[in-house]
């Protein structure tokens, strides 16, 4: 149950956005004894309110029913969760800690204090104690195993990734199942269906103008304010409110290219567990993995390949959808006057697209090594391939027009660090020259996480919230 809406709500600490960053932050503040309010634009729905990856879920738990676009040449279609728990409710919960080489790079590029793997380890451990992670028990489903087998046959390494998942209970460890209940047990107040419109500083406190879905405008007044709306909406809200310094200038993605493999035997049965295999040995150039391969997801991926798409009805159980992704794409977020949604733009260097295309060719090779009869790259103008040898017939470079990029990972729009020329905040998420105003989400990353990002978002939010509480939010 969320609380009834009043005109003016007072709290010691307010957190805007209930994704992994916001939920972890709000929980620690409530447990430290501060009256803490967590507000969320989307609805408060149980984890199992609707089937995972169903059209209904996309309609109710995604922003703009899953249709959001970063404009560029090529553009990137990306998705964001918009519900209590944010992206953690709609994702697969594939889990990795931030790779040490990524942390080293952030410390060097943005001068972030106290961000070595050893310094971050206790925060990973603390988050993993509440949102539990586990390896797949037994043999992963065939669609997943095939990618692993293909990699091994080529002499490559594949891993079966851990997930934020309780395999015994059959339950994902999303925020609504883990940190949000802990927040409520600590006396925290959550109000859903509330969209923060603007922030301003009045009489030494932060005031947030929020609009409830049912119409009324409400003012939230807090001594300390954490903005945790995700890497696109956080800079949009801050820029709408007049904060500009390194806000929304450095958005990064993990853009993906996809391919569908057609196998000789069923690999993809309704009710199969989510796939977990990944090929990470080529990172940071690119990483390879398995996608959800329901008929709806196959149809979406094959939008530009009608011949293969037409086979879904008869052959979906023999089809698997796979991806290659890397940490490319340089984006900007700008608030548009009078528009609810920000303008997001992106540009790619040639070499970044070349690496991604090279990754797609590696993926195709792995799928043929796994026994695929045919592989369809999900790109306009690309035909069905019947052997790895046919890769030689593909264009040497991927044209910008043909690059159909999608992404589910966004970050780094308001990076942290002591280097003020690059950072929007200091090393702990404090926005420069705005006492009591902090960022607590994926925006703070100093670049792509390369690995799946949710673990990094949670651990860094945990680190920063403890640091704030220990210093009484000074």
Ligand X SMILES: Cc1cc2nc3c(=O)[nH]c(=O)nc-3n(C[C@H](O)[C@H](O)[C@H](O)COP(=O)(O)OP(=O)(O)OC[C@H]3O[C@@H](n4cnc5c(N)ncnc54)[C@H](O)[C@@H]3O)c2cc1C
Using CB under 6 A, list all residues that contact ligand X: 16-22, 39-42, 79-83, 86-88, 90-94, 195-196, 228-231, 233, 237, 408-409, 441-442, 452-455, 457
Number of residues that make up the chain: 474
Rg (CA), the chain: 22
Question: What own/partner pairs with CB < 8 Å and gap ≥ 24 does 334-340 have?
Answer: 334/239, 334/248, 335/236, 335/239, 335/240
Shortest Å, Cβ 191 to ligand X: 9
- Give 18 or 145: the residue with its C-beta nearer to ligand X: 18
- Which whole-number Å values give the CA distances from 376 to 14, 207, 368, in the listed order? 48, 52, 11
Shortest Å, Cβ 172 to ligand X: 10
* Chain residue whose CB lies nearest ligand X: 19
Shortest Å, Cβ 53 to ligand X: 8
- Give 183 or 368: the residue with its C-beta nearer to ligand X: 183
What the block records as the tokens of 224 is 């300390």
Shortest Å, Cβ 206 to ligand X: 14
Shortest Å, Cβ 187 to ligand X: 21
Q: 14 has which bridge partners?
A: 37, 225
- Give 15 or 260: the residue with its C-beta nearer to ligand X: 15
What the block records as the tokens of 237 is 């809200």
Cβ partners under 8 Å of residue 158, min gap 6: 147, 148, 151, 152, 277, 278, 279
Q: Are 430 and 222 in contact (CB under 8 A)?
A: no
Q: 134 has which bridge partners?
A: 163
> CA-to-CA distance for 276 and 253, rounded, in angstroms?
21
Cβ partners under 8 Å of residue 198, min gap 6: 208, 209, 237, 240, 241
- Give 80 or 426: the residue with its C-beta nearer to ligand X: 80
> CA-to-CA distance for 368 and 375, rounded, in angstroms?
8
- Give 97 or 311: the residue with its C-beta nearer to ligand X: 97
> CA-to-CA distance for 393 and 131, rounded, in angstroms?
47
What the block records as the tokens of 240 is 């709408």
- Which whole-number Å values give the CA distances from 83 to 17, 25, 182, in the listed order? 9, 17, 18
Peptide bond into 74 cis (omega under 30): yes
Q: 171 has which bridge partners?
A: 166
- Give 222 or 374: the residue with its C-beta nearer to ligand X: 222
Chain centre to alpha carbon of residue 222? 28
- Active-site residues, by number, are 409
- Give 207 or 262: the residue with its C-beta nearer to ligand X: 207
What the block records as the tokens of 247 is 């806000």
Shortest Å, Cβ 409 to ligand X: 5
Using alpha carbons, select from 286, 272, 284 the residue that is nearest to residue 321: 272
Shortest Å, Cβ 427 to ligand X: 18
């Amino acid at each position: 149950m969320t609380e009834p809406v009043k005109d003016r709500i007072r709290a010691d600490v307010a957190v805007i956005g209930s994704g992994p960053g916001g939920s972890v932050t709000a929980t620690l503040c409530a447990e430290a004894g501060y009256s803490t309010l967590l507000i969320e634009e989307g609805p408060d729905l149980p984890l199992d309110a609707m089937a995972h990856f169903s059209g209904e879920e996309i309609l109710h738990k995604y922003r703009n029913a899953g249709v959001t676009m970063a404009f560029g040449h090529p553009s990137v279609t990306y998705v964001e969760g918009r519900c209590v728990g944010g992206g953690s409710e709609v994702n697969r919960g594939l889990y990795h800690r931030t790779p040490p080489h990524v942390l080293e790079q952030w410390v060097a590029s943005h001068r972030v204090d106290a961000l070595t793997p050893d310094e971050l380890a206790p925060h990973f451990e603390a988050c993993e104690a509440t949102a539990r992670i586990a390896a797949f028990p037994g043999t992963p489903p065939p669609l997943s195993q095939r990618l692993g087998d293909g990699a091994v046959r080529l002499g490559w390494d594949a891993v079966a990734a851990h997930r934020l998942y309780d395999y015994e209970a059959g339950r994902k460890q999303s925020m609504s199942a883990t940190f949000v209940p802990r927040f409520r047990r600590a006396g925290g107040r959550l109000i859903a269906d509330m969209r923060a419109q603007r922030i301003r500083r009045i009489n030494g406190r932060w005031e947030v103008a929020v609009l409830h879905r049912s119409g009324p405008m409400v003012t939230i007044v807090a001594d300390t304010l954490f903005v945790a709306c995700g890497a696109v909406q956080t800079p949009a809200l801050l820029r709408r409110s007049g904060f500009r310094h390194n806000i929304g200038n450095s958005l990064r993605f993990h853009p993906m290219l996809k391919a569908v493999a057609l196998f000789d035997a069923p690999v993809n049965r309704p009710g199969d567990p989510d796939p977990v295999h990944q090929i990470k040995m080529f990172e940071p150039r690119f990483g390879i993995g398995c996608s959800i391969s329901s008929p709806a997801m196959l149809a979406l991926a094959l939008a530009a390949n009608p011949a293969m798409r037409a086979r879904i009805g008869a052959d979906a159980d023999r089809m698997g959808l796979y991806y290659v992704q890397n940490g490319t794409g340089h984006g900007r977020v700008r608030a548009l006057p009078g528009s609810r949604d920000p303008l997001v733009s992106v540009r790619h260097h040639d070499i970044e697209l070349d690496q991604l295309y090279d990754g797609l060719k590696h993926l195709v090779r792995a799928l043929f090594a796994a026994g695929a009869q045919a592989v369809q790259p999900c790109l306009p103008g690309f035909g069905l391939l019947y052997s790895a040898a046919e890769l030689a017939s593909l264009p040497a470079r991927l044209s910008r027009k043909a690059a159909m990029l999608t992404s589910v990972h966004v970050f780094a729009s308001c990076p942290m660090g002591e280097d003020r020329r690059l950072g929007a905040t200091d090393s702990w998420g404090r926005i420069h020259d705005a006492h009591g105003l902090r960022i607590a989400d994926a925006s703070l990353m100093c670049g792509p996480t390369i690995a799946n990002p949710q673990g990094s978002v949670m651990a860094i939010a945990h680190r920063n919230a403890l640091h704030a509480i220990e210093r009484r939010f000074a």
